[in-house]
Amino acid sequence: MTPEQLKVAADTGWVLLTAFLVFFMNAGFGLVEAGLCRKKNATMILSKNFVVFAISTLGFYFAGFGLMFSDGGLLGTAGGWLLGGADNSPAVGSRYQGIFGSLNWAGVPLLAKFCFELVFCGTSATIVSGSVNERMKYASFLVFSLILTAIVYPIAGHWVWGGGFLAQAGMKDFSGSTVVHSVGGWAALAGIIVLGPRLGRYPAGAKPTTVPGHNMGYVFLGGMILWLGWFGFNPGSTMSLDPEAIARIAVVTNLSACTGTLVATLYAWWRHGKPDFSLTVNGCLAGLVSITAPCAYVTPEASIIIGGIAGITVVEAVVMFDRLRLDDPVGATSVHLVHGVFGTICVGLFGVKGYGGLAHDGLFRGGGFAQLGAQLEAVVVVGAFSFTTSMLAWLGIKKGIGLRVSPEDEVGGLDIAEMGMEAYPDAIEMETRSQEEVRIRPPDTSRLTE
């Protein structure tokens, strides 16, 4: 084996293992969402998060991957449907003659690239899932996910990662603050506008009602799984074992997560009087989303500042969306949309020329607006496109099969109405038994006296 072949082999292992970590983020999203919502909708939420990756896989396999990465102008038109099209990437040992010019910088086999890009596409769809919880029909969500992953995400992605006009304008989004998180966030925002808030969330003339979640254990574990997954998301985006780069990306990713976590905790403590645990987790996620675009381009010091800012803005964003009466049960827009945009801009603010091949220093490093301009253009263009096309898709589905369950089903819970199955189905039986035991065996209050 030659060193070149060995490098491809080791890189492929790295790409797949980090892709597996990103895949596992589906579990994290499902748990965070279910935990922050009510018990009566938990099966539906979990089921959506299980099925959505299957939908994403098929959407991306049949159409998305080709649209996103095959050669072409406004979208990839050279092929790539059903993984067709010549590979001929460096991994296969000859000069590149394939149809995936935009992925030619990575030496691993085409199917490894597909694996890695697929799990990113899947992440985008799960972001939407959270925002529309507790009132949307199961079938309608599945249809939207297919549209998002087969069409909307790939086209926007083509412009940034597929060699499109934003890439040519110098825009840089290393791991997808824009491509993954903003696109998902805009799609979610369009969804909650069309869908409307949950019943009773914004009573006329009164403060918004707080709807309690049902399981902080899920929120904890889901948050930890997402944090873990981001160690695949960001360092894996190198698609090669570049030792200096992956180590630095891992460090800055973690630092931003940590300051996001801590600042959100302390800020919520100061602002709301208690260290709100759901904001702790959302602070971590905001720090992670914010460092996703700039992770290859900034210093550890900058990542600390980026995460710290995200820790404050996420708390305020939750308040802002509530003021706007946009009902997002899990704060997905606050985390992914707001900080997808913020992270994208951070490349233009904190970027270091030369890091990860960045062409210009960021504004705060004296580089002027050269990089920042390209970033802002992408924010606006991708935002306008994702929001508009998603809105059209939501409206079309609403017209076609309807979006929202009946008020009765919403009050009674989507689990019984849509899924025919409660999340904790033997609870009634057990509760009865326990009550009998309570009667027989009253609680031993002596245990509470010292």
Check binding of 424 to a copy of itself (CB under 8 A). Answer: yes
Of 347, 402, 365, 392, whose CA–CA distance to 170 is shortest? 347
Please tell me whether residue 225 binds a copy of itself under the rule CB under 8 A.
yes
- Determine the interface stretch with a copy of itself among 176-184, 185-193, 222-230, 381-389 (rule: CB under 8 A): 222-230
319 sits near a copy of itself (criterion: CB under 8 A): no
330: contact with a copy of itself by CB under 8 A: no
Structure-block tokens of residue 407: 């008020």
Tell me the residue type at 368: G
Least Å from the CB of residue 170 to a copy of itself: 27
Residue whose CB is less far from a copy of itself, 258 or 352: 258
372-411 as b/e: b if 16+ CB within 10 A:
bbbbbebbebbbebbbebbbebbeebeeeeebbbeeebbe
Q: Which stretch binds a copy of itself (CB under 8 A): 160-168, 242-250, 289-297, 358-366?
A: 242-250
Report how many residues bind a copy of itself under the rule CB under 8 A.
135
Of the two residues 161 and 218, which places its CB atom closer to a copy of itself in the complex? Answer: 218
Check: CB of residue 135 under 8 Å from CB of residue 195: yes
Considering the rule CB under 8 A, would residue 397 count as an interface residue with a copy of itself? no
Interior/surface letters 84-107, b for 16+ CB within 10 angstroms, e for the rest: ebebbbbbeeeebebbbbbbbebb
Closest CA to 412 of 422, 401, 402, 403: 422
CA distance 350 to 57: 35
Indicate the residue among 166 and 279 with the shorter CB distance to a copy of itself: 279
Q: Considering beta carbons, is residue 372 or 417 the nearer one to a copy of itself?
A: 417
Q: How far is the C-alpha of 62 from the C-alpha of 55, rounded, in Å? A: 11
Contacts to a copy of itself from residues 11-30, by CB under 8 A: 11-14, 16-17, 19-21, 23-24, 26-27, 30
- Using the rule CB under 8 A, is 448 a contact of a copy of itself? yes
Q: Which of residues 46-105 bind a copy of itself (CB under 8 A)?
A: 46-47, 49-51, 53-55, 57-58, 61, 82-83, 91
DSSP letter assigned to residue 207: P
* Interactions with a copy of itself, residue window 331-360 (CB under 8 A): none
Q: Which of 151, 169, 250, 391 touches a copy of itself (CB under 8 A)?
A: 250
Q: Which stretch binds a copy of itself (CB under 8 A): 170-178, 224-232, 374-382, 390-398?
A: 224-232
> Which of 261, 292, 386, 389 lies at the binding interface for a copy of itself (CB under 8 A)?
261
CA distance 381 to 125: 20
Nearer to a copy of itself, 215 or 344 (CB): 215
Q: Tabulate helix, strand, coil % of the chain (nearest 5).
A: 70, 0, 30
Residues 94-133 that bind a copy of itself (CB under 8 A): 108-112, 114-115, 118
Task: Give which of 61, 51, 25, 50 is closest to 150, Cα–Cα.
Answer: 61
Q: Can residue 401 be called a binding residue for a copy of itself (CB under 8 A)?
A: no
Say how far apart CA 374 and CA 370 lie, in whole Å. Answer: 7
Q: Which helix (H) or strand (E) holds 288?
A: helix 277-292
Residue 172 CB, nearest approach to a copy of itself (Å)? 21
- What is d(CA 360, CA 58) in angstroms, rounded to the nearest whole number? 38
Which of 297, 323, 314, 304 minimizes the C-alpha distance to 259? Answer: 304
Contact with a copy of itself (CB under 8 A) among 176, 223, 294, 329: 223
Closest CA relative to residue 70, chosen from 155, 12, 8, 180: 155
Could you give the string, one character per residue 130-169, with x where binding to a copy of itself holds by CB under 8 A and - elsewhere? --------x-------------------------------
Residue 437 in contact with a copy of itself, rule: CB under 8 A: yes
Q: Cα angle at 449 between 448 and 450, to 5 degrees?
A: 115
Burial 250-268 (b: 16+ CB within 10 A, else e): eebbbbbbbbbbbbbbebb
Judged by beta carbon, residue 323 or residue 449, the one nearer a copy of itself is 449
Binding residue for a copy of itself, selected from 158, 172, 214, 360, defined by CB under 8 A: 214
Q: Is 3 in the site for a copy of itself (CB under 8 A)?
A: yes
Q: Does 205 bind a copy of itself (CB under 8 A)?
A: no
* 259 binds a copy of itself per the rule CB under 8 A: yes
Of 166-174, 186-194, 258-266, 370-378: span binding a copy of itself (CB under 8 A):
258-266
C-alpha 278/C-alpha 36 separation (Å) is 8
Q: What are phi and psi of 232, to 5 degrees?
A: -90, -45
Closest distance to a copy of itself from the beta carbon of 339 (Å)? 17
Q: Which of 68, 125, 284, 403 binds a copy of itself (CB under 8 A)?
A: 284
Structure-block tokens of residue 20: 């597996």
The CB-of-171 to a copy of itself minimum distance in angstroms stands at 27
Name which of 298, 382, 300 is nearest 340 in CA terms.
382
